[in-house]
Structure 1
């Protein structure tokens, strides 16, 4: 059984070959691209379940490719790069990446991250498919002027316009609005959105909260409150 389609974007031919053999042996289908142009073509030609993105490509910077990938697919993006700079990691997360793994890495760890990313998406799909056809109320959560739509993995404003959240942002916001007036620690939010896998870039939650607030506009800081020494909490409007 195919466990999912992995798109590997990397200019290192040897690594592409290794990843292809490894993931295919593990039951995944693998699509590869050596640069940004080829990656764009592959994204248009087929469905992918997760994207592995190197930051150093011959025709573009990987960071500039993140928004292009986001326009083509909602699949999770895992940056796989030799750059170990914290600022670089923060930039990638701010631009829409869901995870970051530094080279060199253990193939088993990469597989675990791929598996977790795909499973989160499939679990959401399974929950939606088993819900009653008329269960629009359970598929949507209204908070303030916004509506979180589990069916579309998106959040819409009062005019019905999407605020364009990433899957990672959606899952984080869903965890918060599903527990109104209940402070959630960073550990709890990692557990609910990333299977509890902490990394040296554990500011990921803070970065995504900042992006979510910005997308929510002037209501962002009012709806998603910082609980000093604890984490974050969704505060429903009075």
Structure 2
């Protein structure tokens, strides 16, 4: 199949090659169809103002509509969001600062919007990637009324010391447009905390077998696996799922898998 990173931009599962729908791995010598594409950017994930119609969505954000997933690099789990994480819940933008320490990562969430990540740097301020610029704002302003939570433990990498995390974030403030090295706010915040080049644009060469797997837990007994050649591409798709919500992702997958079965049946009949 080759590297098609410059040829295709996928927006839904109807165009997205996947692995076994039951989450089972093929034999080692079986060719693996994977994903190595640049997905639509989500840098404009926060609006300047929250419309009146969105305020209830912000207030009533339901963690139960989040899709559980785990990310593996080869055989090592490097990210996991499970039901226990969802049970933690979110806090209002007024109460969240009381829980934050310098070096913490926070995630602001609202129904139907991409999650927005930021790095706490002290004095009720955060550094975040917003509209193609690295900015330092007060946490209350950065949240724009959305509920939030601390997400230090989603990624399983060893974190840098809080002082280094804060320094890494502050040193990037003012960077904008072509100088920005991250695809979205999550990649930037995670890079600050863990210092791994994989979070940067072009941090990995997309060649050979896809080393990353994202396992989507659709139900207690059913899962689905997507393969990726870079962590950057995987995060873009994971965030798209976050923006859609669990029910919409499951429906999209079902439509895709049913369509695949119909195509195979038509082919077999011919």
TMscore range, shorter length: under 0.3
Using the size of structure 1 for normalisation, the TM-score is 0.25
Task: Tell me: higher relative CO, structure 1 or 2? Use CA pairs within 8 A at least 6 residues apart.
Answer: 2
Greater helix content: 1
